[in-house]
Structure 1
Amino acid sequence: MTALIHIVEDDADHRAALCDLIEASGFEARGFASGEAALAARPGPDLMITDLRMPGMDGFALLDAVKARAPGLPVILITGHGDVPHAVRAMRMGAEDFLEKPYDAAHLLAVVDRALRAAATRAELGRLQSELLRKDGSEILGRSAAIEALRARIAALAPLDLDVIITGETGTGKELAARALHLASPRADGPFVAINCAALPDSLFEIEMFGHVAGAFPGAQDKPGKLEVASGGTLVLDEVEAMPPAAQVKLLRALQERQVERLGENTPRPLDLRIIALSKTDLRRLSLDDSFRPDLFYRLAGAEIALEPLRALGDDIALLFTHFTGLTARRYGRPPPEISYQFRQQLQRRPWPGNVRELKALAERVALGLELPDAPAVAQDAPQTLTEKVAAFEAREIRAMLERCRGNTERAAQALGIARRTLNDKITRYGIRV
């Protein structure tokens, strides 16, 4: 669907020229001579471009009215040369960007495109957060190629009644992926039962997994095991690589025959369930050296899913961080924290050994004010030599200017008084993400 852009400009010639430029670029444009007329127009736009100095309602008043009515609507200001301090004030009020007259048409269109993309990202984040809240956290959040591939894999496997092995580092969301598989499957209305194989001592594992009947041992009453409880739904075996060898033998038999015998009886009970095994290590490799029974591995591995670590998800790291800070802020009735451009870049450079679990913990601390979002996120050795100190200062100034210019390298180069090519070379040299 073509984006609708409102042009608010009291100069009729400039307004007409802007509308022609916007429409020639594939967007739909509507021009207005005043802010009052733009506010009264229906339907509302996807983006607004407005002059700062206008009779009656000026750009500040229009921006304030727009943000009160539609906080997510991007507004781009056009300012005269002497209005730059006012433009900075407008940015603090929520303007998406500003252009100084005279401006380059290609630059204007690049700003428009970036603003529309940013608005779409914010809207998508809001939608995903709503979905997450509605689906008890079972929705998988992210826009990277790895997350899109994971969603496609889950969508393909969910309707198939296959047992699945999900492998990934600690904290990558293996149980979240398992729950998504369950909810997208024909078994969604059945039970979802999870057992951590590493949390139970060997002596209790078989009782918990297979159950027992009254009299099986002193004081025993009838109790179904996890296999029976999950019948009709999904059983998740977390840290399956820690399952005791004796239990592996009994589980293999139960899966082969799809029936289970409780401890103390000889009557088989039918099972109708899907097994999803979670492992932080490569079960295939463990099966080769008999650390894990090969026959059980091949019984469980009807299909396999490998989860990427958080450090491989790129821009999704900041997306997830914003999601978790928002959830925490709402839970405690606090305003969500402002996350700077520089801090988002720092998030992407962290190694994240604890993956999403570590990210969530940091996001909660930031949302509660226990840690500043502009605090250094990557420990670095302090520069010692003069050359190192100059380089650190230069890198810090470049990052700060990119933050102020919203990542626009052309404007940042102008503000720093250097050529754009020189700035790009320094960005590459210092490993700055734009």
Structure 2
Amino acid sequence: MIRVVVSAGGACRCFAPPETEVRLGSSRECDWHLPFPGVSRFHARAVMEGERLLLRDTGSKNGLFVGRERRGEVRLGLGESVSLGQARLALERLDPAEGELAISFEAGRPVTSDEELPTGTAELAAEALEPAARALLLARRTAAIHSPGPGLRRRILAEAGELLGVPTLFVGQLDRWDEVVLRDLHGVLPTSEMLAKLSLELRRGRGEADLEERWLLAPVHPGRRAFLAAGPLPAGGSEEIWKEMLLDFLAVRLLNPMEVVPEGTAEKAEPAAGGELSIPAGMVIGTSPAFQALLAELRSIVSSQMSILLLGESGTGKEVLARLVHASSPKADGPFVAVNCAALPAELLEAELFGIVRRAATEVDAREGRFAQANGGTLFLDEVGDLPLKLQPKLLRALQEREILPVGGRHPVKVDLRIVAASNRDLPGLVASGAFSDGLFYRLAGVVVRVPPLAERREDLPLFIAEFTSRMAERHGKHLCGVTRAALARLLAWPWKGNVRELENEIEAAVLRAADGDALRAENLSEGVRKVLAVTGAEPAASAVLDEEVAVPQPGAGGALRDRRAAEERAAITEALSRTGGNVRAAAALLGLTPQGLRYKRKRLGLA
């Protein structure tokens, strides 16, 4: 695998070898945008000649320099470089594991989670068009994207859901037990009963479900068992054919990169009946049995007013789950207020929770407490196990009586809210030792929900990696095209004792180290993660990755799994080339690959 690296003053941009001639310069109109000092707006043209990069100066001010010699034309070999102003352009060879993307965002140009879909001048007035015309524009824009990453895929689903006029649009898949596994979701999570009915309709081969509510279904093809579902359609709505056509088209574009659930996947827990879940923005929907069981438990209790106690290790995402409970509850229109009980001493925490009246303390103005701020909504008490013992009776009374007494106040104030508490400590053990009030524990623990650590839901790791890489690239203004297989193998092998928070911090630091325009590579990871394979001797089968959906290796699979996958890849590539008469670009489109990716796979598999 070869790449072109352009660097200047610590900044760096990386490009794949061009299949056709490209323009490079500081202008954004160039194919390779190089915003570096001394680079002219249209500095040069470049094209590959075998394994050499041919560069031709196009009349730039600072020209092309090899050493101190200015040249009008340069043929770069591997390891060689040329100067463009203050920038250095070099041709490098990558290790195969670092050259092939395990998680890719958008082929052709890197994107981030919040980047807009491609638009053209004829599409700028799309908002003023009829829904059918807007659907056509969405299809055209989606067709311009080779392999949508997680951020773009969610944007496509959101826009399609609005056009179809449905509250729910999701990418799903039937596992080996014919149960629905959610991959991507826009809107409200369907009930367990509805998922079971949709599964039945899909197995009957229907593209529409006429149940109590009408849904549209678009399977990509029976063997893959992946599908798009949209519904419920508006009651009395028109029967426009464009809705079905749009869903069918998006299914082909969005589902082709997905893989079926691995045969060795453990049985998914049966979802419990109950309310619907409204997923907060940015929340990763895991497909692991542990996470699916957690969602099922939350679905059964969100519509009630009972207090919920979330118990789990630090960094497992308890606040995200608290926000999910709030957004899915009858109090979703009210405020969500979070307070960390471990962050303040008892004297300040009392005023923080219950408020303070004027002149109750020296030079302290009256202010509203968190209970009052959360009135009509949800109050999230994080790290409640660290609540000072002397403050626990007052909190217990507030929960029992649904009223608070501000510091220095004389008259209690009624509040109407739901309590969600969380702790990473052994609260029953603290109760037994007298360090935590038993009355307060039982009041908080209306329903106790255990939040599984990341070690119990490793199937979800690739989803988190894809989401965090996209999110952090956007946060720090980086354009990354994906995550390499070598980097993914190390991220999958690390134990992540700090759970999701540790993973998020690792990805953020790696994104900062990564070169703009390049992929996130193993060299960008922290030293411990980078060297984990040498310590453990493990090598996760990161080559099983396609787009951001990853088949996590099963214990004992080893070389047999890799050999089987290689044979399957050879057969698929051979069939695609046969169907397209040897046309590499057309075969790559059938396989969901870039032409460069297909060429690399053919070479690696001995088909070149």
2:274 corresponds to 1:120: no
C-alpha displacement at 1:147, in angstroms? Answer: 1.5
Equivalence map 1:285-300=2 (5 Å) = 285-300=429-444
Structure 1 counterpart of 2:418: 274
Matched residues in 2 for 1:206 and 1:353: separation? 33
Asked if 2 retains the 8 angstrom alpha-carbon contact of 1:140 and 1:177, the reply is: no
Q: Which amino acid aligns with 2:521?
A: P
Equivalence map 1:22-421=2 (5 Å) = 69-72=144-147, 120=255, 135-137=280-282, 139-370=283-514, 373-375=521-523, 377=529, 379=531, 408-410=562-564, 412=566
- Tell me which protein shows more strand as a share of its residues: 2
Shift in CA distance, 409/402, structure 1 to aligned 2, threshold 3 Å: farther
Q: Which runs of 5+ in 1 are unaligned?
A: 1-64, 74-111, 125-133, 416-434
Asked if 2 retains the 8 angstrom alpha-carbon contact of 1:227 and 1:235, the reply is: yes
Asked if 2 retains the 8 angstrom alpha-carbon contact of 1:402 and 1:409, the reply is: no
Equivalences, count: 296
Matched residues in 2 for 1:401 and 1:229: separation? 50
- Tell me which protein shows more helix as a share of its residues: 1
Asked if 2 retains the 8 angstrom alpha-carbon contact of 1:197 and 1:240, the reply is: yes
Shift in CA distance, 115/253, structure 1 to aligned 2, threshold 3 Å: closer
Matched residues in 1 for 2:449 and 2:256: separation? 27
C-alpha displacement at 1:153, in angstroms? Answer: 1.9
Q: Which amino acid aligns with 2:310?
A: I
Asked if 1 retains the 8 angstrom alpha-carbon contact of 2:494 and 2:532, the reply is: no
C-alpha displacement at 1:148, in angstroms? Answer: 1.3
Residue 411 of structure 2 aligns to a residue in which SS?
A: coil
C-alpha displacement at 1:185, in angstroms? Answer: 0.5
Q: Which amino acid aligns with 1:374?
A: A
Matched residues in 2 for 1:414 and 1:299: separation? 56
C-alpha displacement at 1:413, in angstroms? Answer: 7.6
C-alpha displacement at 1:400, in angstroms? Answer: 9.0
**Alignment TM-score, normalising by the size of structure 2:** 0.43
Matched residues in 2 for 1:209 and 1:186: separation? 23
C-alpha displacement at 1:342, in angstroms? Answer: 4.6
Shift in CA distance, 412/115, structure 1 to aligned 2, threshold 3 Å: farther
C-alpha displacement at 1:340, in angstroms? Answer: 3.5
Asked if 2 retains the 8 angstrom alpha-carbon contact of 1:342 and 1:399, the reply is: no
Q: Which amino acid aligns with 1:409?
A: D
Asked if 2 retains the 8 angstrom alpha-carbon contact of 1:337 and 1:366, the reply is: no
Asked if 1 retains the 8 angstrom alpha-carbon contact of 2:331 and 2:377, the reply is: yes
Asked if 2 retains the 8 angstrom alpha-carbon contact of 1:315 and 1:348, the reply is: no
Asked if 1 retains the 8 angstrom alpha-carbon contact of 2:427 and 2:436, the reply is: yes
Residue 422 of structure 2 aligns to a residue in which SS?
A: strand
Residue 276 of structure 1 aligns to a residue in which SS?
A: strand
Residue 458 of structure 2 aligns to a residue in which SS?
A: coil
Residue 212 of structure 1 aligns to a residue in which SS?
A: coil
Shift in CA distance, 357/121, structure 1 to aligned 2, threshold 3 Å: farther
1:143-196: per-residue Cα shift (whole Å, max 9, x none)? 111121222222221110011111111111000000100010011111111111
Q: Percent identity?
A: 37
Structure 2 counterpart of 1:106: none
Residue 482 of structure 2 aligns to a residue in which SS?
A: coil
C-alpha displacement at 1:69, in angstroms? Answer: 3.4
Asked if 2 retains the 8 angstrom alpha-carbon contact of 1:350 and 1:378, the reply is: no
Q: Which runs of 5+ in 2 are unaligned?
A: 1-139, 149-221, 228-252, 260-278, 552-560, 570-608
Matched residues in 1 for 2:298 and 2:418: separation? 14
Matched residues in 2 for 1:381 and 1:136: separation? 34
C-alpha displacement at 1:350, in angstroms? Answer: 1.4
Q: Which amino acid aligns with 2:449?
A: I
Shift in CA distance, 400/233, structure 1 to aligned 2, threshold 3 Å: closer
Shift in CA distance, 282/291, structure 1 to aligned 2, threshold 3 Å: same
1:200-247: per-residue Cα shift (whole Å, max 9, x none)? 112212111122222223334332221122111111111111111111
Matched residues in 1 for 2:542 and 2:368: separation? 61
C-alpha displacement at 1:314, in angstroms? Answer: 2.0
Matched residues in 2 for 1:408 and 1:300: separation? 49
**Alignment TM-score, normalising by the size of structure 1:** 0.59
Matched residues in 2 for 1:317 and 1:363: separation? 12
Matched residues in 1 for 2:566 and 2:302: separation? 48
Matched residues in 2 for 1:271 and 1:199: separation? 24
Asked if 2 retains the 8 angstrom alpha-carbon contact of 1:340 and 1:403, the reply is: no
Residue 180 of structure 1 aligns to a residue in which SS?
A: helix
